[in-house]
Chain A
Amino acid sequence: MFLTNCSGVKKLSIFKEEVKRQELNLNKPNPLVLERIKWHIITSENAAEVFAKLEAEGIDPVLFGLTDKDFQLIAKNFAQIRNQLKVTNELLDKYKEYYEPEVDKKDGKDGE
Chain B
Amino acid sequence: MCGIIGLFLKDDKLNCNLGSMLSSMLNTMSDRGPDSSGLAIYNCRDIDKIKLTLRSENHQEDFKEILAANQKMNELVSVLKKDLDDLDNRFNKGGRDFGKVAIEKTDAINRIINKGSDNATRCIEISSGAELTEEERNATKKSEINRECPGIANPNYVPY
User: Which A residues lie at the B interface, using CB under 8 A?
Assistant: 28-41, 43, 45-46, 67-69, 71-72, 75-76, 78-83, 85-87, 89-91, 94, 97-98
Asked if A39 and B124 make an inter-chain contact with CB atoms under 8 angstroms apart, the answer reads no
In whole angstroms, how far apart are the Cα atoms of A90 and B84 in the complex? 20
Residues from chain A with Cβ under 8 Å of B66 in the complex: 98
Interface string of B107-123 (1 = CB under 8 A from A): 00110011011101101
Q: Tell me the nearest residue of chain A to B92, going by C-beta.
A: A72
Asked if B124 and A69 make an inter-chain contact with CB atoms under 8 angstroms apart, the answer reads no
Asked if A90 and B116 make an inter-chain contact with CB atoms under 8 angstroms apart, the answer reads no
Asked if A76 and B106 make an inter-chain contact with CB atoms under 8 angstroms apart, the answer reads no
Determine which of A41, A43, A71, A89 lies in contact with B127 in the assembled complex, contact meaning CB atoms within 8 Å.
A89
In whole angstroms, how far apart are the Cα atoms of A45 and B148 in the complex? 30
In whole angstroms, how far apart are the Cα atoms of A78 and B119 in the complex? 11
Q: Which parts of B131-155 form the interface with A (CB within 8 Å)?
A: 131, 148-149, 152
Q: State whether the Cβ of B59 lies closer than 8 Å to any Cβ in chain A.
A: no
Given contacts A29-B129, A32-B130, A41-B109, contact A79 B83 (CB under 8 A): yes
Determine which of B80, B99, B103 lies in contact with A79 in the assembled complex, contact meaning CB atoms within 8 Å.
B80
Residues of chain B at interface, number, CB under 8 A: 40
Asked if B72 and A94 make an inter-chain contact with CB atoms under 8 angstroms apart, the answer reads yes
Q: Which 3 A-B pairs have the closest CB atoms?
A: A68-B99, A31-B130, A85-B127
Residues from chain B with Cβ under 8 Å of A91 in the complex: 73
Determine which of A31, A68, A76, A90 lies in contact with B128 in the assembled complex, contact meaning CB atoms within 8 Å.
A31
What are 5 contact pairs spanning A and B, CB under 8 A? A39-B110, A43-B106, A79-B80, A79-B148, A89-B128
In whole angstroms, how far apart are the Cα atoms of A2 and B79 in the complex? 79
Asked if A78 and B127 make an inter-chain contact with CB atoms under 8 angstroms apart, the answer reads no
Asked if A87 and B73 make an inter-chain contact with CB atoms under 8 angstroms apart, the answer reads yes
Determine which of B72, B79, B120 lies in contact with A75 in the assembled complex, contact meaning CB atoms within 8 Å.
B120
Q: Tell me the nearest residue of chain A to B72, going by C-beta.
A: A90
Asked if B124 and A85 make an inter-chain contact with CB atoms under 8 angstroms apart, the answer reads yes
A71-B98, A78-B123 are known contacts; what are 19 more A-B pairs with Cβ within 8 Å? A29-B129, A31-B128, A35-B121, A36-B117, A38-B114, A68-B98, A68-B102, A71-B113, A75-B116, A75-B120, A79-B148, A83-B79, A83-B80, A83-B127, A85-B124, A85-B128, A87-B73, A89-B128, A90-B73
> How far apart are B89's CB and chain A's nearest CB, in angstroms?
12
Q: State whether the Cβ of B125 lies closer than 8 Å to any Cβ in chain A.
A: yes
In whole angstroms, how far apart are the Cα atoms of A35 and B65 in the complex? 38
